Structure 1
Amino acid sequence: MKFLRDTWLVFQRQMQLLLRNPVWVIVGITQPLFYLFLFAPLMSKALGQGRPLSQGETYQLFVPGMLVMVALFSAFSGFGIIAELRAGVIERNRVTPVSRVALLLGRSLRDVVQLMFQAVLVTLLSYPFGLRIAVGDAVLAFLLVGLMALLLSSLGYALGLALKSEDAMAPLLNTLIQPIMLLSGILLPIAMGPAWLQRLADFNPFSWAVSGVRALFAGHPGDDSVWQALAILTPLTVIALIVSSRTFAKSVR
């Protein structure tokens, strides 16, 4: 019970800080909206593989990739923890009785809520372009995206605590995120690529996630790719939380 209360208190505090300065929410949603309005309309012929897709069909394929792309940027949460280290916030956490795991989880849940807002906004803004998805399918798709955000956010915090420098973290994250994005089929489905690229993408868990979210947006919640994505992301998220929690606990011990 104390752990849940501590997590709620940290989450509340982090949400208050976010709402006082929502610039990061605005910055985080700007790039996906640019892709949504200025890039997605160009994809109907490329995605059609022989026949141009309708606008609705294009967004049905493109929006799930956008949501996963936004989730991948959750890894950059580590920059915030570096700033807190420099400001002495983590140092002051050492004298509090709050659970060390709650200090991490409360922050990560704030990042998940922020992502959910962005995901819902992107989905709603796609409706005028012909996107249609059932409420139940949308909720399950957002659950998958939320798992990715929790996984990457917690790892981002652990990485920030380990490196303690934006100069070291920025190139490392860019080096890691770029191939993950390209092998996820975010902009174009991996199925359109050669066989060797598809086999390589099989080792990328976020490629499975994109396939699962696309199946849900297509109205196929019973598709194998949905439960496969859940089966892959759930244990990875648990492992990431355990590793990150230990890193966080050592930093504020």
Structure 2
Amino acid sequence: MFRHTMLFLGYELGNVRRNPVWPLFGILQPVLYLLLFAPLLTGMTPGGTLTDALRVFTPGAMMMIALFGSLFTGFAMIQETRNGVLERLAVSQAWRPAIILGRVLKDMIVLVLQALLVIGVAVLMGLRIGLPELGLMVLLMAVTGLFAANLSYGLALALRDENGMSQIIQFFALPLMLLAGMMLPISLGPDWMQAVARFNPLYYSVEAGRSLFAGHLSDSTIPTAFGVFLVLGALTLTWSVRSLRKLAG
């Protein structure tokens, strides 16, 4: 099982090395938000400084990468399904969950590298964060991406149509982003929006990220976010593996 997963992981990482453009494009929008949007928040943060604004906005930018960077990974799987590549893999002697796990691990590795690049830009802008908080933040981003990538692969295997999948993602992505408070803290919104946001799992990851960047390691949002996304990641992984088995007949 482990050997098969590592083989698929190596194959997927090889594809990334041969075509590194898309992961770089994936961080372009969050970096632009950091450079152009975060300074606008200086008047809305308690200290009124760019450093305080970065502590609020950088976690949201990182979760933006975890969401949008992972939700679109399933499109390549649709192409492989149409070409018959995935069906041949599914009926081979390979451990079927490894086909999904190898891809998901690749996505998490790419997310971690993207996270470090975004934090590097934020540090150059004046952000300061401790190593324990940084490690937990990167890990939180990875488990958030675990859920989003598994969801994307499950949708790809269930729909097998780029147009349908694109419409579903675009329909849900923007409300999820806004109700998570990625751009602005949800506490600035009306009471009804704050109440609805608590049903959005991404809200907890963003709030946990802001607690980490503020140095509040004991905040309850941190274990809550990890628990929510580990459970969601396991459920979506189970769904995508079952969809792959149905593809194999």
Verify same fold: TM over 0.5. yes
String of CA shifts for 1:3-32, please: whole Å, max 9, x gaps.
111111100100001110111112111111
Which of 200, 204, 207 is the equivalent residue of 1:204? 200
Kindly provide the amino acid, as one letter, of the partner of residue 54 in structure 2.
Y
Q: In the alignment, does 2:14 pair up with 1:19? A: no
CA distance in 2, matches of 1:129, 1:148: 25
Deviation at 1:83?
A: 1.6
String of CA shifts for 1:90-142, please: whole Å, max 9, x gaps.
13213421111000010011111111111110001111211111111111111
CA distance in 2, matches of 1:204, 1:167: 25
Between 131-140 and 225-234, report the one with greater CA deviation.
225-234
Superposition RMSD in Å: 1.3
CA distance in 2, matches of 1:94, 1:237: 21
CA distance in 1, matches of 2:213, 2:61: 12
Between 206-215 and 82-91, report the one with greater CA deviation.
82-91
Structure 1 unmatched runs, 5+: none
Which of 208, 228, 236 is the equivalent residue of 1:232? 228
Kindly provide the amino acid, as one letter, of the partner of residue 192 in structure 1.
L
Deviation at 1:208?
A: 0.8
- In the alignment, what sits opposite 2:54? 59
Which of 93, 105, 109 is the equivalent residue of 1:109? 105
Give the total of aligned pairs.
248
CA distance in 2, matches of 1:21, 1:231: 34
- In the alignment, what sits opposite 2:184? 188
Which of 25, 40, 43 is the equivalent residue of 1:42? 40
Deviation at 1:196?
A: 1.0
8 Å Cα contact 1:100-1:252 kept in structure 2: no
- In the alignment, what sits opposite 1:216? 212
TM-score by length of 1: 0.94
Q: In the alignment, does 2:166 pair up with 1:170? A: yes
- In the alignment, what sits opposite 1:126? 122
Give structure 1 regions of 4+ aligned residues with deviation exceeding 3 angstroms: none
- In the alignment, what sits opposite 1:156? 152
8 Å Cα contact 1:101-1:249 kept in structure 2: no
CA distance in 2, matches of 1:150, 1:105: 10
Structure 2 unmatched runs, 5+: none
CA distance in 2, matches of 1:147, 1:72: 11
Q: In the alignment, does 2:70 pair up with 1:70? A: no
Where 2:42 maps in the other structure, the secondary structure is helix
CA distance in 2, matches of 1:31, 1:204: 23
Where 2:215 maps in the other structure, the secondary structure is coil
CA distance in 2, matches of 1:143, 1:199: 27
TM-score by length of 2: 0.96
- In the alignment, what sits opposite 1:29? 27
String of CA shifts for 1:150-175, please: whole Å, max 9, x gaps.
11101101101111111111111100
String of CA shifts for 1:171-217, please: whole Å, max 9, x gaps.
11100111110100001001111111101001111101100011011
Kindly provide the amino acid, as one letter, of the partner of residue 185 in structure 1.
G
Between 230-239 and 87-96, report the one with greater CA deviation.
87-96
Provide the identity percentage. 39
8 Å Cα contact 1:57-1:130 kept in structure 2: no
